[in-house]
């Protein structure tokens, strides 16, 4: 297809012919017979955004799940109301996500039984790591005698038993492409063969349009209470020995420090990644740079949860939270992502958070880590396998583009998802704002 009157980020106005790759960039390109033409009207044309850390199956499931955490649900009364108004899904279950103990404390089977007796209910903690089930639900998964109904998501023993509801990948695809995203990296650590097959089939059938990259099996999640340096070093060495980079999930300082120690021993691969890097102490910045690690982080959590961090994290550690500018200054490659559905899946909101670092009630978290709008945007333009290196709108680059209604200066000032006019993947128009 041909895109006319497109403004590139450097300000040049051009026409762009795009197929599987960008074929031509020039002035006054003539449309070929039968070729689709999109008039960008001077709006910015960018490489399609890539969200470098998402969880697709959970995101699709979350579309028809109840949300029971902040900001929508903040009190026990609101939780009770949300659950009592909930309609069970086609499988008879009530499925709720996003829970945080600030709402009504740690939930277990007896506290849930007091809220919902008749329907099986499962509530996911907003970290994604834990599910809380009532007695009816425990009976359905074959654990009627389970002591507290608090089950780890990573425990396949029970989660296999749940017949997963067919999730709506087509609707998720529509929502993702409407944000200008043309590719995603699924960071779920233990995707099984069924997940992979259903995702690939959906992609091939055209139900799920964005390009998909999978981190699994080179992805590991660490738990603070089970940090084992030797085991992690062996795991990394094993992956590297077959040429596979690793992606290590680090949300605490302890996890980051142990990961750095393991990589010092095992050696690093040029494509190794640190996921989240929620807490980065000063003295780890040099290590991250020396090891050549790419940090894939989520500034949107500053905008979504910043007030909770300010209240719960010791003041002298605030400077270590969700850093961006100091990583870049230390020459650590950085890329952004949303962690959808655990973070809101709007990359533009994540960019604004990186620029302003404003919490929900309007405080600033860690203002020294703010970056420019241009830098924030670039963090979503990386290659799927080299997140820290940005793609460009040039001949030979992938035919994945995001067309905005605004020229660059206004687009960078706004960074709003409402500016996305069209999304193109492999030369095909997959989203067009009406």
Residues binding Zn ion (CB under 5 A): 187, 339
Q: In the complex, what is the shortest distance from the CB of residue 339 to Zn ion, in angstroms, rounded to a whole number?
A: 4
| Nearer CB in complex with Zn ion: 62/404 | 62
Please count the other Cβ atoms lying within 10 Å of the Cβ belonging to residue 148. Answer: 14
Kindly state the tokens that stand for 29.
Answer: 């390109």
Query: Shortest approach of Zn ion to residue 55 CB, angstroms?
Result: 6
Burial class (CB in 10 A: 0-12, 13-18, 19+), 170: middle
Buried (b) or exposed (e) across 351-360, using 16+ Cβ within 10 A?
Answer: bbbbbbbbbe
Other beta carbons less than 10 A from residue 311's beta carbon: 8
DSSP string, 316-366: GGGGGBT--HHHHHTT--EEE---TTTS-S-HHHHHHHHHH-B-TTS-BSS
User: What tokens were used for 248?
Assistant: 């290590």
- The H or E element spanning position 202 is helix 193-205
Question: What are 261's two structure tokens?
Answer: 């120690």
Shortest separation between residue 128's beta carbon and Zn ion, angstroms: 7
Minimum CB separation from Zn ion for residue 127, in Å? 9
CB 169 within 8 A of CB 156: no
Of 287 and 339, which has the nearer Cβ to Zn ion? 339
C-alpha distance from residue 37 to each of 6, 18, 24, 309, 393 (Å): 12, 10, 14, 48, 17
Give ∠ CA 402-408-410 in degrees, rounded to 5: 110
What whole-number distance in Å separates Cα of residue 334 and Cα of residue 323?
10
- Nearer Cβ to Zn ion, position 187 or 412? 187
**Whose Cβ is closer to Zn ion: residue 275's or residue 369's?**
275
Least Å distance between CB 287 and Zn ion? Answer: 23
Instruction: Give least dist CB 433 to Zn ion, A.
Output: 29
Question: CB–CB of 373/347 below 8 Å?
Answer: no
- Cβ-based nearer residue to Zn ion, 342 or 348: 342
Q: Which is nearer to Zn ion, 69 or 149 (CB)?
A: 69
Residue number with CB closer to Zn ion (56 or 187):
187
Dig out the tokens for 301 from the structure. 């959590």
Residue nearest Zn ion, CB atom distance: 339
Report the nearest approach of Zn ion to the CB of residue 130 (Å): 14
Give every CB contact of residue 89 below 8 A, 6+ residues apart in sequence. 64, 95, 165
Cβ distance to Zn ion smaller for residue 187 or 354:
187
Instruction: Of 277, 221, 229, give the one whose Cα is nearest residue 253.
Output: 277
Shortest CB 253 distance to Zn ion, Å? 18
Provide the β-strand partners of residue 295.
274, 334
Read off the tokens for 51: 């969200």
Minimum Å gap between C-beta 228 and Zn ion is 21
Nearer to Zn ion by C-beta: 15 or 339? 339
């Amino acid at each position: 297809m041909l895109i006319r009157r497109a403004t590139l980020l450097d300000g040049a106005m051009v026409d762009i012919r795009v197929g599987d790759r960008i074929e031509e960039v020039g002035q006054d390109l003539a449309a070929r017979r039968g070729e689709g033409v999109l008039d960008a009207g001077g709006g910015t044309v960018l490489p399609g955004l890539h969200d470098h850390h998402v969880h697709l199956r959970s995101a699709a499931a979350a579309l028809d799940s109840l949300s029971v955490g902040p900001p929508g649900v903040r009190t026990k009364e609101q939780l009770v109301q949300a659950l009592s108004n909930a309609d069970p899904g086609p499988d008879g279950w009530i499925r709720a996500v996003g829970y945080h103990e600030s709402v009504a404390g740690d939930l277990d089977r007896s506290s849930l039984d007091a809220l919902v007796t008749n329907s099986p209910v499962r509530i996911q903690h907003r970290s994604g790591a834990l599910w809380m089930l009532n007695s009816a639900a425990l009976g359905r998964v074959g654990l009627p005698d389970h002591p507290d109904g608090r089950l780890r998501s990573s425990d396949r023993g029970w989660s296999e038993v749940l017949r997963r509801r067919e999730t709506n990948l087509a609707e998720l695809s529509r929502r993702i492409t409407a944000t200008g995203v043309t590719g995603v990296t699924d960071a779920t650590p233990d995707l099984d063969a069924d997940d992979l097959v259903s995702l690939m089939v959906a992609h091939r059938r055209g139900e799920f349009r964005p390009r998909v990259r999978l981190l699994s099996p080179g992805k590991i999640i660490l738990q603070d209470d089970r940090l084992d340096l030797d085991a992690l070093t062996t795991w990394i060495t094993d992956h590297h020995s077959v040429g596979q980079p690793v992606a290590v999930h680090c949300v605490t300082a302890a996890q980051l420090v142990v990961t750095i120690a393991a990589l010092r021993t095992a050696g690093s691969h040029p494509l190794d990644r640190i996921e989240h890097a929620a807490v980065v102490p000063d003295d780890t910045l040099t290590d991250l740079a020396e090891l050549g690690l790419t940090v894939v982080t989520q500034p949107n959590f500053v905008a979504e949860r910043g007030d909770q961090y300010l209240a719960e994290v010791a003041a002298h550690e605030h400077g270590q939270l969700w850093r961006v500018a100091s990583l870049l200054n230390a020459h650590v490659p950085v890329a952004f992502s949303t962690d959808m559905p655990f973070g809101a899946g709007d990359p533009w909101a994540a960019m604004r958070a990186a620029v302003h670092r404003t919490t929900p009630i309007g405080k600033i978290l860690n203002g020294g880590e703010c970056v420019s709008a241009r830098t924030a945007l670039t963090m979503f333009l990386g290659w799927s396998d080299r997140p820290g290196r940005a793609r460009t709108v040039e001949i030979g680059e992938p035919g994945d583009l995001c067309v905005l209604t605004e020229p660059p200066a206004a687009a960078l000032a706004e960074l709003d998802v409402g500016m996305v006019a069209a999304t193109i993947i492999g030369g095909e128009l997959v989203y067009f704002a009406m």
